[in-house]
Structure 1
Amino acid sequence: MVRIFGPLVGLFFAAALLWSFAVGAINMIREPEPMTAVKEYHLAPKEDVKFAFNGAFGRFDKQQLQRGFQIYKEVCSNCHSLKQVAFRNLTDLGYSEAQVKTIAKEWATKAKTFDPKTGDTGERPNTPADHFPPVYYAGSGSPPDLSLITKARHEGPNYVYSLLTGYTDQPASLIKKYPDGKVPDGLYYNPYFANLNIAMPAPLADGQVTYSDGTKATLDQEAQDVAAFLTWTAEPKMEKRKQTGWAVLGFLIAATALAYLSKRTIWADKH
């Protein structure tokens, strides 16, 4: 009896799942999801921008990473933190230890100190061992920490680049969809942002910085450089990971070939 009852219970639940799936599919066909303003105007990240680290053999361009760090230091660090990165990690970008010490010491936001005996707090200059100190933003909203932003967003580097270069005027057809036909106050239109309107004004423009290596600072160049730098902060070991991957792949190919030859030898037909 139990042997008969068990399969019947399984068939009942399987039938219930199939029925639920069929009902859901039919409802979606009969009543397609309405086209919202966000879905109508939202754009996927641009795919035409190419980075030196793309592909299985890609590597970071240290000159580009230094330019991206300059963008972060002079523009982005006013609002956004980089808490997961230590100053000493900047040696991976080609900076000397002396340069890193100077960067840490002269950083605008100082490290916090706390005396457990007196309960007093204070500040001290940063050292290479310190992480980039958090930014205390005085405005409304809470700007995200950028340490892992390219891993937290779909197509991270391309998303950052698209967002930074995507600011434009509100389409007239979209303005008509707002309540009372008014654009939301304090927001800026960007079709690459999730809900089209972002609280951050366009941070970059042509000539926003003066690159120390003489590169012309166009909006496109600045956006590519800071996107590359933020990819490095999120994946500082990317190059080593790729190198390890190729070594493992080579080992697997060699091991497969040896296994095949062993099989041919051990199980060869005896005549």
Structure 2
Amino acid sequence: MRTLPMKKLLVSGAIALAALSAGAAAIAAGTEEHPPKRQWHFQGPFGTYDRAAAQRGYQVYAEVCAACHSLQLLAYRNLMELGLTESQVKGLIKDIVVPDINDDGQPIERPARLSDHFKKPFPNELAAAAANNGKAPPDLSVIVKARVNGPDYIHGLLTGYVPYDKLTPQQIKDFAVTKDDNFNRYFPGHKIAMAPPLADDKVTYADGTKATTDQEASDVVEFLAWASEPHMESRKRTGVRVVLFLLAMAGFMYAVKRMVWSDKH
């Protein structure tokens, strides 16, 4: 009987292994549930931020998310870009104290100023990890841009928790879920360390909006989208002006071309 050379055997084995891996990935992807697609005010070439929603989103962040998640790239003065006045922002941060160093080089705490960056919930990453079962919560400054379909994913994550008593026996078996686990439809692997952060009436909105879980999630996504790209609107306006300029220039150059070559035909 004829035998294959060792090189061909190795190549065949590699192809078979790749096929098995692709099949396993396809099976895994088939069980993954994707969050529903939503229409966001800030999406599209002419999209803008809903400032009322973003202001409510800041309230959700400040009252719920800020206990664990930082926003290192934002300063408090940036909140004025959401349509808040200087006095309103000062009112929002009047109870916040931040660490500092006095003139003698000694550590102190003082009231937050507009120029301060958002206060970190933990002094360092090790402290954050120690307080959260060994894993530090991620900074949210660019979380919307860092995720594929970030707005939909974050909204789905915040609203995708399923209580243990609502799980099917098959889900409990397939994902080895216990009563101490947090099951989330849209989190990879479905078991997530973060307990459900939102609930109906978790916050009392200053503008009187009814605070359902879906509303809170939508508002905090609007705020985090703005935090991830606060200059998006000016960028889009510049882009529209450039496109209009190029269209006008193209029309002008076409007219010049016709005028120059008109006597050649």
Give the TM interval when normalised to the shorter protein.
Answer: 0.7 to 0.9
Identity %: 42
Q: Note the 1:140-179 alignment, pairs <5 A.
A: 140=133, 141-169=135-163, 170-178=167-175
TM-score by length of 2: 0.82
Let me know the Cα RMSD of the aligned residues: 2.6
Question: Is 1:62–2:48 an aligned residue pair?
Answer: no
- Tell me the matched-pair count: 244
Match of 2:229 in 1: 235
Aligned residue number for residue 122 of structure 1: 108
Structure 2 counterparts to residues 1-271 of structure 1, below 5 A: 28=18, 32-34=22-24, 39-47=29-37, 49-107=38-96, 110-114=97-101, 118=105, 120-136=106-122, 137=128, 138-140=131-133, 141-169=135-163, 170-178=167-175, 182-183=176-177, 187-270=181-264
Instruction: Give the C-alpha shift of residue 123 in structure 1.
Output: 1.4
User: What displacement does 1:248 show?
Assistant: 0.6
Structure 1: gaps (5+ residues): 1-21
Tell me: CA distance 1:264–1:78, structure 2 relative to 1, closer, same or farther (3 Å): same
User: Any unmatched runs of 5+ in structure 2?
Assistant: 1-11, 123-127
Counterpart for residue 17 of structure 1:
none
TM-score of the superposition, structure 1-length normalised?
0.81
Q: Give the superposition deviation at 1:214.
A: 1.0
One-letter identity of the residue aligned with 1:42: E
CA deviations 1:182-233 (Å, max 9, x no partner) are: 4268541112112321110111111111111111111111110000000000
SS at match of 1:267: helix
